[in-house]
Amino acid sequence: MLNILRLLTFALAVAAPASAQQADAPIQKVLQEHGDIISKSSRRTIGPAIDALADSGLPAAREVLNRWQAKQMWRNEETGLYVFAEEVDSDTLRIFDVADGMEIGTAPDDDYDQLKPNSGIRGMIGAALVRFQLTDPDPAMRLQALETIARDAEAAHLQTLRGAIETEQDKAIAAAMVRLERLLTIQFAEDDADRIKAIESFAGDLGVDVRATLNPLVRTRLETADAVPETKDVARVLSPASDALPREDAYDLLVSADLAKPRISREDKRAALVANLENGAVAGVQVATLDTEAARDIAYAVLAQQGKVEPVATEAEIDATLDKFVFFERYIAAPPAVALAAASALKSIENKVAVNQGLDLGLDALSLASIYFLAAIGLAITFGVMRVINMAHGEFIMMGAYTGYVVQQIVPDYTLSIIIALPLAFAVTFGAGVAMERLVIRWLYHRPLETLLATFGISIALQQIAKNIFGTQARPLTSPDWLDGSLIINDIVSISYIRIAIFVLALLFLGLILLVMNRTRLGLEVRAVTQNPRMAASMGINPDRINMLTFGFGSGIAGIAGVAIGLYAKVTSEMGSDYIVQSFMTVVVGGVGNIWGTLLGATLVGTLQKGIEFLNPSNTLAAQTYMILFIILFIQFRPRGIIALKGRAAEA
C-alpha cells in the first residue's frame, strides 16, 4: 500500500510540470504573441503588449497584469511559456499556470527567467488595471479606482470610464463617475465641441478639482508684436508699466526676443565703470564727479563708444522702444474656443466662490460678534444699567478662564470639567464682583472718573497676581471632543463647532439677561434703583443689596464668558485687557443701558473687523486700528449709540 502511494506520488511529481501547463490557453497565446517585447521590457515598446492583454477580454488578463506588476511572472527558458511563480527557497520555484492559477509544481529556478518590469512599466500596467477595478464588484475598490484616475488621469481612462458608467448600479458611484468623465472629457476629448460642452456644465461648480482642471487650459504666454494680431487666441492686451506687466519685464521680453538693446541695472553699470577705472578716471571722466546717475550714464556711454562695454539702452530709448510694441497674452494650452469657454467657466466659478466667501465671512463675523457680545454683556449690566465703569471687567473674564483651567487640572474629563467650570466660574467671579462692589465701588457711586481709576488699580493688581500664580505662558483650556472639528457646508464655507457653541451661548445669555431684567422681581428692582435710588428705597427696596447683586451678576457673566473665550483662545493673564477696550466700545456703540443695543454693537464691531480683515487679510492689527477709528467717528454722529435711550432714563 505504501509502495503504491509512493509510486503515485513519484509519477505525479514527474508528470505534473509538463502535463499541467496549458500551452494553448488563450491568455498564454496573447502573451506569446507579444513575447518579444515583453521580454525586452522597455517602457517605450511595451505599450501594445499591455493593451493587448487589457483588451483581450479574457478573465485571466487581470490576474496576469497583477502578477506581472508584482514581479511574479517568470518565463520558461526552453519553451518560452509564461508562468506565475513563487520562490520557495533561493533555488526553487513553485510555479502556477497563467491560465487558471493552478499549481503546477516546483522547479529549479535555473530554467526560468523572471520578468522585471521597471517602475515606468508598472505604472502603465497599473493604468491598465484601473479598468478592471472600475468594474470590480467591491464598491470600495471602484471608488479607489476613481481616485487613482483623478490623481493622474490619462487619455485612455476616458474610454474605460465611459464603459464603466453604463454598467454602474450604485447611484453615488455613478454620479462620481459621471463627474470624473466630464473632467476627463475637458482634458482629453478629441472634439472641441465635447470639451466645451463639458466645460460649460461645470459653470459655478465650487469643486477644487474643477478649478485644477480648468486652470491649465487658460494658461497664457506673454508675447509682443508690432500690433495686436486679429486671431481669437489673444487673451488680453497689456500695457507696459502697469501692475500686470512691470516696465522692466516688458522690456526684458523685447531684449530676449532680440527686438531691443539690453538695459543695464545700476549695480552692473557701477561694476562696469569700476572695471574700467584707470588712474582715477573712467573714460576720461574724473571719478570724483561720478556721484550722480547722470554722470555715470555719460561715462558709460563714452566707454560704449570706445567699445569697451556693451552699448545699452538709456531710459529714454527704453520708453521709445516700448511705445513701438504691443504686449498681449496668448492662450497656449488649448484651442481658443476651449480656452475661452474655460475662462468664462472660471469666471462664473469665481463669482460663485466670491458669494460663498462672502457667506463664510458672514459666519466668521457672526462668531466674532458673539465673542464680543459675550465679553461685553457683563459690562452691559454693570456699565450699561448701573453706570459703573469697571475697568477690571476684563480681569473677571480672565478669572473665569483660569477657573476653567484649574477645574481641568483636577477633573480630567473634558465634558464634565466644562460642565463644572461654567457654574464655578460664575460663582468665583460673582464673589469677586460682590467683594469689589462692597469694598470699593459703593464709596464712589457718584464719582465715575474715580471709579474708573480705582477699578484700574484693581485691574493691574489682579493681572499681576494671576501672572504670579500661573506664570506668563499661555495655559490651554481644552474643549471636549464633541466640540472639535467643524461644520463643513461646502469647499469654501465651514464653521468650527466651538464657534457655533459660543454663538449659542451668546444667544442663551441674551435670553437669560432679558428674562432677568424684564420678567423677574430682581430685574424690576434693579431698574427701579438705577432710575431713582431714593424713590426705590422708600418703596421698600434695599438699594445697597440690589447694587451688590446686580454688580455680582454682571461680573459672574463675565466669568462664564471667560470660560467660553478661553476655549476659543489661550488663557493668559493679559487676555482680559485684550477685550476691555473693544467691550466698552461695543457697549458705547450699541447704546448704553440697552441690552439689544449691546447685541447690535457687537454685531457691528464684529462685522466691521472681519470686513476690514477681508480687505487686508495679512494684517489683523490694521483691522483693529481702522475699526477703532471707525468707532471714534461713529460716536461723532451718534454719541449715544445705535439705540439711544430717550426721556428720563437718558438723564440718569
Alpha-helix residue ranges (DSSP H) falling in 289-335:
293-305, 315-324
Minimum distance, C-beta of residue 426 to another protein, in the bound complex (Å) = 25
Residue placing its CB nearer to another protein in the complex, 512 or 629: 629
Rank residues 523 and 576 by Cβ distance to another protein and give the closer one: 576
Q: How far apart are CA 386 and CA 377, in angstroms?
A: 13
Query: Cβ distance 139 to 63 under 8 Å?
Result: no
C-alpha grid cell, residue 253: 521680453
- The minimum distance between CB 408 and another protein, in angstroms, equals 25
Q: Tell me how far apart the alpha carbons of residues 306 and 611 are, in angstroms, rounded to a whole number.
A: 61
Cβ neighbours of residue 312 under 8 Å, at least 6 residues apart?
A: 261, 262, 263, 264, 269, 300, 304
Residue type, 259: L
Question: Which amino acid, residue 507?
Answer: L
Q: How far apart are CA 588 and CA 361, in angstroms?
A: 25
* Residue 461 Cβ vs another protein, minimum distance, rounded to whole Å: 3
| Nearest-angstrom CA–CA distance, 120 and 388 | 77
595-615 helix and 620-637 helix, angle to the nearest 10 degrees: 140
Rounded Cα gap, residues 455 and 580, in angstroms:
12
Least distance CB 274 / another protein (angstroms): 5
Separation CA 390–CA 397 (nearest Å) = 12
- Minimum CB separation of residue 447 from another protein in Å reads 7
Q: From the CB of 533, what's the least distance to another protein, in Å?
A: 19
Residue 37 vs 628, nearer CB to another protein: 628
By C-beta, is 371 or 563 nearer to another protein? 371
Residue 349 or 462: the one with the smaller Cβ distance to another protein is 462
Q: Footprint of another protein on this chain (CB under 8 A)?
A: 266, 270, 273-274, 277, 287-288, 290-293, 296, 389, 440, 443-444, 447-450, 452-454, 456-465, 467-468, 577, 581, 584-585, 588, 619, 621-622, 624-625, 628-629, 631-633, 635-637, 639
Toward another protein, which CB reaches closer, 195 or 393? Answer: 393
The alpha carbon of residue 154 and the mean position of all alpha carbons in its chain are separated, in whole angstroms, by: 28
Separation of first and last alpha carbons in the chain: 118
Residue with Cβ nearer another protein (292 or 538): 292
Nearer to another protein, 333 or 628 (CB): 628
Among residues 1 and 621, whose Cβ is nearest to another protein? 621
Nearest approach, Cβ of residue 369 and another protein (Å) = 18
In the structure grid, which three cell numbers stand for residue 211, read together?
478649478
Of 426 and 626, which CB lies nearer to another protein in the complex structure? 626
- Residue with the three cell numbers 472639528: 485
Interatomic CA distance for residues 355 and 522, integer angstroms: 46
Determine the residue type at 468: N
Q: Minimal distance in Å, beta carbon 391 to another protein? A: 8
The distance of closest approach from Cβ of residue 437 to another protein in the complex, given in angstroms and rounded to an integer, is 13
Count other Cβ atoms within 10 Å, centred on residue 592. Answer: 23
Task: Supply the minimum distance, in Å, between the C-beta of residue 357 and another protein.
Answer: 24
Query: CB of residue 145 vs another protein: minimum separation in angstroms?
Result: 48
Going through 90-244 in order, the beta strands assigned E by DSSP cover: 92-97, 103-108, 112-114, 220-225, 234-238
Of 126, 73, 114, 71, nearest to 97 by C-alpha is 73
Q: Which is nearer to another protein, 111 or 544 (CB)?
A: 544
DSSP secondary-structure letter at 593? Answer: T
Phi and psi torsions of 119, nearest 5°: -65, -35
Least separation in angstroms between residue 585's CB and another protein is 6
- For 431-459, the DSSP string reads HHHHHHHHHTGGGGTT-HHHHHHHHHHHH
Nearer to another protein, 151 or 646 (CB): 646
Number of neighbours of residue 277 by Cβ within 10 angstroms: 12
